[in-house]
Structure 1
């Protein structure tokens, strides 16, 4: 018998991709921890030995929502996955899950395959396409979970935040399925309010999770929206959010109406001002 081929260790450095350049950095505190960043903006963190280790606070909030879904394997669509932190997490915590990862940057996908052992994630398929085109080709009622975590730099693309796109996402979700959206916003939260208004216009049940300082618009950061045609486990989500390292809040029902504060939904063609993080945020 031949010797088993040893996987090459990832190589830190800067790598050209289709949409610019990314940097791969080793975590000096965790031997198998790696950070992927774009233009100085942290995009993904993975631990190649422990896929259940989640370094980013907002990713832990997303994992709290995933953990609250009924037990068992899931059919998951990921729009924008970076180094595929959440596909790895779901594969580890829910064996047998199937993943469709949609990512427009073919060179980035190849980098993650070559350097960060993407092939080790079972039942994962990557479709190199933009989020709107690829989702339009997915079957009706085919997903238990739809994760929208797509960014251009530090900003969510507006064309993935419109009512028309959310309608297509709703079509792909099963009646019991859940949507997870990662938004970044800062002072005033004008963009986040419009995205939440858009999701509320499509889904009957919606909740928002974030740290109190971010919810009050005091600092730039990530807010997680979850939505479903079916009732959400609000008590469990509130408990998990408050009990985690981030001590976040879960906002829903009348409090969510107050958060939106009459902001209009985003529609295709609308002029939308997207938030820009303060220059010192990632310094």
Structure 2
């Protein structure tokens, strides 16, 4: 870690209760921490659009359910891993990121290569308030909102999740980064199921207990047939370089299914 970046490593909270943001760098990777030593985000400096952390790759599994989203909302910016990936890999997409902590926004823009063009909009504000003002505005919504230690409770509460459903367009998908070791993990999933009429799938990340939970705005029709998912996974792997076929296998293992399809 460089001396310059080491000086930016702090723990605790800033005035106003927001966690202090810390940045570190080692072996070509730049990392962000929020008020603790728990790693929140990581970027490969030589390839900013790469999804370094396993949970971000699991979150990108939402493309299996909505392969070409045009309008994407990110609630919780962090180091910008998912916004950078979608901006780079889906050149027709418009990305909006909502982040409460202005220090996170400033560092993501200055040190984490967040794109600065008309396809990447950043809103500094409360994601809960923002969501309540949206109606049929987005194809995909990704929730990655932690305070440095735990997921922000308001963003796994049923009223907010209902607002997420209202903010999705027809065929839209919500992806939420959950932690399977959280004592209320199953309650978080139940809240998603209640808000989305049971249409929820889980995709465990490869490491650290993170789980990407996907909620479908509408009945999926034939989209969850294994033959269609596997064909889509091969095409997405060729296009984006992630192991989507392994994600289909993980979805099958983690969710109820018949011989021919997933059952959300």
Normalising by structure 2, report the TM-score. 0.77
Q: Superposed, which structure 2 residues align to 1:16-31 within 5 Å? A: 18=14, 19-28=18-27, 30=28
Q: 2:54 aligns with which of 44, 53, 57?
A: 57
**2:174 aligns to what SS in structure 1?**
strand
Shift of 1:211: 5.2
User: Is 1:97 the counterpart of 2:100 in the alignment?
Assistant: no
Q: 2:213 aligns with which of 213, 225, 229?
A: 225
Name 1:110's counterpart in structure 2: 106
- Gapped regions of structure 2 (runs ≥ 5): 234-242, 259-264
CA distance in 1, matches of 2:145, 2:71: 19
Q: What are the superposed Cα offsets for residues 94-148 of structure 1, whole Å, 9 maximum, x if unpaired?
A: 002111111110122112212223244651111111121111222x111000001
Name 2:163's counterpart in structure 1: 168
Q: 2:43 aligns with which of 46, 58, 65?
A: 46
Name 2:192's counterpart in structure 1: 199
Q: What are the superposed Cα offsets for residues 48-85 of structure 1, whole Å, 9 maximum, x if unpaired?
A: 442442111111111122255233x5201111120111
CA distance in 2, matches of 1:117, 1:242: 29
Question: For the aligned residues, what is the CA RMSD?
Answer: 3.0
Checking the alignment, whether the CA contact within 8 Å between 2:84 and 2:115 is kept in structure 1 is no
Name 1:78's counterpart in structure 2: 74
Name 2:31's counterpart in structure 1: 35
Name 1:8's counterpart in structure 2: none
**1:20 aligns to what SS in structure 2?**
coil
Q: Superposed, which structure 2 residues align to 1:145-164 within 5 Å? A: 145-164=140-159
Name 1:271's counterpart in structure 2: none
Q: What are the superposed Cα offsets for residues 158-215 of structure 1, whole Å, 9 maximum, x if unpaired?
A: 11111111111111001211000001132xx641211111111121421011158x8x
CA distance in 2, matches of 1:104, 1:89: 21
User: CA 1:190/1:47 → structure 2, altered by over 3 Å: closer, same or farther?
Assistant: same
User: Is 1:252 the counterpart of 2:248 in the alignment?
Assistant: no
CA distance in 2, matches of 1:148, 1:234: 26
How many residue pairs match? The answer is 232
User: Is 1:243 the counterpart of 2:239 in the alignment?
Assistant: no
Q: What are the superposed Cα offsets for residues 209-245 of structure 1, whole Å, 9 maximum, x if unpaired?
A: 1158x8xxxxx6211100112315463389766726x
CA distance in 2, matches of 1:44, 1:234: 33
Checking the alignment, whether the CA contact within 8 Å between 1:211 and 1:248 is kept in structure 2 is no
Normalising by structure 1, report the TM-score. 0.72
CA distance in 1, matches of 2:185, 2:31: 26
Q: 1:183 aligns with which of 175, 178, 184?
A: 178
User: CA 1:211/1:96 → structure 2, altered by over 3 Å: closer, same or farther?
Assistant: closer
Name 1:208's counterpart in structure 2: 202
Q: 2:124 aligns with which of 109, 122, 128?
A: 128
